[in-house]
Amino acid sequence: MQEHNSSLVIELSYSDLVIDVGVVTLGEDNRKKMQKTQKNEEREKVAQAACALLNSGGGVIRLEMANKDDHPVEPGLDLEASWRELIQSSDLHTFFETKQQGRCFYIFVKSWSREPFPEDSSTKPRICSSSSFLYCRSGTSALLMNSTEAFKFLKTKKRAAERRPVNEGAPPRKILTAVCHNISESDLAFHIFQRDRLEHGEILHLPESHLVEFKQFSTKNIEKYVKETIPKYISAFANGEGGYLFLGVEDKTKKVLGCVKENVNRDSLEKVIATAISKLPIFHFCSSKAHVGYETKIQDVFLEGELYSYFCVIRVKPFCCAVFAEAPISWMVKEKQVCKLTTEEWVEMTMDPDPLTFIFFPELTEDFESQLSLSSGPPLCKPVYSSKGLEHKEDLQQHLFPVPLGHLQYTPESLWKELCSEHEGLEELLSKEMRPFSRGILILSRSWAVDLNLPAKQGVICEALLIAEHSPPILHTILREQDMDGQRYCTNTALTLKQKLVNMGGYTKKVCVKTRVLCLSTKTHVEPLQGSAFPIDYPLSYSFANTLHMDAFLQSLAVVLLGFRSFLSDQLGCEILNLLTLQQYEIFSKNLCKSRELFVHGLPGSGKTIMAVKIMEKIRNMFHCEANRILYICENKPLQDFISKKNICQAVTRKAFMKEDFENIQHIIIDEAQNFRTENGDWYNKAKAITQREKDHPGILWIFLDYFQTSHLDCSGLPLLSAQYPREELTRVVRNADKIAYYLRDKLHEIRRKPPPNIPSMSLEMLPEVEWVRGVQGTLKIKKDLTRDQVVTYVTDTCRGLFERGYSPRDVAVLVSTQSEVEYYEYELLRAMRKKRIVQLSNAYDILGDHIVLDSVRRFSGLERNVVFGIHPKTADPAILPNLLACLASRAKQQLYILWLGDC
């Protein structure tokens, strides 16, 4: 049995994954002289490290040369062959480079990706492996599939499983008929299989073929022999068309010899075979739980009328999916450990993610554009999508990080000015550092760690990432005072940056991030502490060669900085990244210390809730804050539940907020504040008092609101508009399909013309600045004069049509106006849908469950669905109706149906 974790360890003092494999003999001449076992052991150790690095974003293998050659050496043919096996290509240089430094020998490993093989990228697996342990029949032998063949084989099996009706584990018909082609051969084999006795020395008149394999019992330890020999034949037969394995025939002469009865016990032989076969790892793409199908027959062999030996035949049936001789071997770095993938992980990682998920999820193909496709990305990369009509990563990069033509640009300029005025000597210190670089971009941040979702460090003034021609990227950490821990911190940030660039940003070129720690008080570079790691000298290919090279890096960097886990990931069950808009990113990258209080006015569908979540993550990292110190307040329970599940904060409704003290809380984020009321007290001053409890370190209080979506005529308790300062606006509407956006726009204009009395009309002035992001067609249907029965029928029939087209119940919300209507329609819709065998309903409490949401428009505020039915939206006072309609329309991403009842 293979153990799961490798004995190899990741060195922690580098800004890259570095694996030290210990002493290895290098040079072809030296390796030729080695003992076989030691040679294999060394080769496997290095291959294991290489495989883990290829699959985990790349890194460096360090080894100590056993031989003391001081001239540069070639590693050795067997070592290089094992690396070629991993990448399934003879082009080693694309992924591996080597370098000798004294007694140390370094192997630089780039992340695996299929990008260098554009013409046959679809034939390459998504990860590298040392062995698939999948066998197939080739003529008269059982062959181990290399990983390219294994990938092809698995794809075929997967496609076949998808075409078979559900719950039918039987192998595809095609294979069964294939068996019949060789009627004579398999009949002959079957005939022998059926016999009860054979004569010693009898010649079997049956050729070896892809269905027939002859083996002799060639040792005395029969059980051990069987255990070790049969797996590959069973795997090969089961993965193909089935077949017969005859044990006890002399290969060449086909003479029956059997195994002498003194050496073997009939029952135990049968048991050994059963155990060996039951241990073979299998993988099903289909829903069958079946194991390998086979029959064993042990026949008596007579010599001169006396029982002399036993002859054994195993008849293997073709298997629906994949049978391995042993668990496949591939490695990956997980939490700084080199781990072996399980068989299930291996199959999942080898295969491309199921395109069906995407086809059956119309939203991804209709509303989103792929920014990063999986087909050429590194193994750990997630798909990245951005809403249609928004900037592509190329545009984002050109806007955020344009590479200048002939000089070194510091960016963002405003931050650089701010930092220089705050810290005397900073300008001088950095410009001295930058003297050798003439072309590129220096990206400043108060904390690169926070930008990468890591905790900030006290005493760091700022950090600067240098992207310059003829240099690798260099991350500079500038400390106020000398700090023992500065280098370790900078190294860790650089490592995270490198890994995110590859595994999240999809960067496929060779990359390392160097570190440099500077200290402002001594105006010098801080030498790494004694005893800390000797820097690794990377090959030239790790430096930026030209502008294109820098652009590619900066595009991946934009994905890393603007990417966030899409709310869709929860629905899809696989991780999808979306990108922030530039407007959102600008607010997100504000210096929190200088924007402790902020009002964010965001139009419907401009991403307020996404921003609220991102800001809470940032607060956590910047101030080293636990979830119990950050409070999220909103008006309605469904949104509160949705945010609670993210585990980054405590989430309450306004009512609950007014009941308790919240002594632990330091920071408060308020969402949908336009719907707040003063009925339970002055929530604004309470929130303000809490965040200002600590005089020297006031907390963050950010308030997100949208006056257009006000749902009542009472006092909201917000300060006067003129006192809502500082204030930012989100004016890019990214959520709704075009037709819904037009309807929404009309409603917003209506509100602006005739605002309800409790809304400051100045607050609606932002409307002309709205930017409607276009690109998704969508559906808007408005029906009038319906009866309640007709409404029920309309919703039921439309849903059935949607589900037949691949939408799921969790894409749909049915929104009404009052609680009594919720009850009425819950009963009626359930009855109608049950009759037509459609689905279950629930209210918005269970927003992530797999069912249709039925709730009131008000309570559903702040949430969204692909398809929304609004049934007779009404308000007690008509003055507020356009606001309610705007709120309703804004919930719908793709399809909106507004159903009005006739006079009743």
Residues designated as active site: 208, 213
Closest separation between CB of residue 330 and ligand NAG, Å? 16
Are 231 and 280 in contact by the 8 Å Cβ rule? The answer is: yes
Hey, which bits of 690-772 come out as E strands? 701-705, 727-730, 732-733, 771-772
Q: Which is nearer to ligand NAG, 88 or 798 (CB)?
A: 88
Q: Alpha-carbon distance 25 to 820, whole Å?
A: 80
Burial class (CB in 10 A: 0-12, 13-18, 19+), 547: middle
* 552, HSE (Cβ side, Cα atoms, 13 Å): 13
Q: Which is nearer to ligand NAG, 91 or 168 (CB)?
A: 91
Choose among Zn ion, ligand NAG, none what residue 111 binds, the Cβ cut-off being 5 to 8 Å by kind. none
Phi-psi region of 685 (alpha: psi -120 to 50; beta: other; left: phi over 0): alpha
- What's the N-to-C CA distance of the chain in angstroms? 75
CA torsion sign, 86 to 87 to 88 to 92? negative
Closest separation between CB of residue 163 and Zn ion, Å? 12
Choose among Zn ion, ligand NAG, none what residue 592 binds, the Cβ cut-off being 5 to 8 Å by kind. none
Encoded tokens for 758:
């409790």
Choose among ligand NAG, Zn ion, none what residue 128 binds, the Cβ cut-off being 5 to 8 Å by kind. none
Choose among Zn ion, ligand NAG, none what residue 678 binds, the Cβ cut-off being 5 to 8 Å by kind. none
Q: Alpha-carbon distance 714 to 712, whole Å?
A: 6
Q: Which is nearer to Zn ion, 90 or 167 (CB)?
A: 167
Q: Which is nearer to ligand NAG, 146 or 731 (CB)?
A: 146
Q: Backbone phi, then psi, for 725, in 5-degree steps?
A: -145, 140
Choose among ligand NAG, Zn ion, none what residue 320 binds, the Cβ cut-off being 5 to 8 Å by kind. Zn ion
**3-state percent helix, strand, coil for the chain, nearest multiple of 5:** 40, 25, 40
Q: Is the peptide bond before 165 cis (omega within 30 degrees of 0)?
A: no
Q: Alpha-carbon distance 730 to 11, whole Å?
A: 45
Q: Which is nearer to Zn ion, 324 or 708 (CB)?
A: 324
Are 397 and 505 in contact by the 8 Å Cβ rule? The answer is: no
Choose among ligand NAG, Zn ion, none what residue 675 binds, the Cβ cut-off being 5 to 8 Å by kind. none
Q: Alpha-carbon distance 785 to 793, whole Å?
A: 14
Q: Which is nearer to ligand NAG, 83 or 106 (CB)?
A: 83
**CB neighbours of 778 closer than 8 A, spacing ≥ 6?**
736, 737, 738, 739, 740, 893, 894, 895, 896
Encoded tokens for 34:
């080695």
Question: Among 897, 894, 826, 903, which residue's Cα sits nearest to residue 364?
Answer: 894
Closest separation between CB of residue 214 and ligand NAG, Å? 23
Are 716 and 674 in contact by the 8 Å Cβ rule? The answer is: yes
Closest separation between CB of residue 40 and ligand NAG, Å? 20
Closest separation between CB of residue 116 and ligand NAG, Å? 13
Q: Alpha-carbon distance 475 to 494, whole Å?
A: 6
- The residues pairing with 310 across neighbouring beta strands, listed in sequence order, are 259, 300
Closest separation between CB of residue 149 and ligand NAG, Å? 5
Choose among ligand NAG, Zn ion, none what residue 792 binds, the Cβ cut-off being 5 to 8 Å by kind. none
Residues in contact with Zn ion by CB under 5 A are: 284, 286, 288, 320-321
Closest separation between CB of residue 864 and ligand NAG, Å? 47
DSSP state of 145: P
Q: Alpha-carbon distance 298 to 3, whole Å?
A: 34
**CB neighbours of 385 closer than 8 A, spacing ≥ 6?**
364, 368, 369, 370, 371, 566, 576, 577, 578
Q: Alpha-carbon distance 603 to 706, whole Å?
A: 6
Choose among ligand NAG, Zn ion, none what residue 88 binds, the Cβ cut-off being 5 to 8 Å by kind. ligand NAG
Q: Which is nearer to ligand NAG, 146 or 296 (CB)?
A: 146
> How many C-beta neighbours within 10 Å does residue 857 have?
25
Question: Among 335, 329, 331, which residue's Cα sits nearest to residue 54?
Answer: 331
Closest separation between CB of residue 105 and ligand NAG, Å? 26
Q: Which is nearer to ligand NAG, 142 or 520 (CB)?
A: 142
The secondary structure of 572-611 as a DSSP string is HTS--EEE--HHHHHHHTS-TTT-SEEEEEE-TTS-HHHH
Are 573 and 585 in contact by the 8 Å Cβ rule? The answer is: no
Q: Which is nearer to Zn ion, 157 or 510 (CB)?
A: 157
Closest separation between CB of residue 157 and Zn ion, Å? 8
Residues in contact with ligand NAG by CB under 6 A are: 88, 146, 148-149
Choose among ligand NAG, Zn ion, none what residue 802 binds, the Cβ cut-off being 5 to 8 Å by kind. none
> How many C-beta neighbours within 10 Å does residue 238 have?
28
Choose among Zn ion, ligand NAG, none what residue 148 binds, the Cβ cut-off being 5 to 8 Å by kind. ligand NAG
Q: Which is nearer to ligand NAG, 134 or 441 (CB)?
A: 134
Q: Which is nearer to ligand NAG, 88 or 98 (CB)?
A: 88
Closest separation between CB of residue 143 and ligand NAG, Å? 7
Q: Alpha-carbon distance 84 to 697, whole Å?
A: 58
Closest separation between CB of residue 155 and ligand NAG, Å? 15
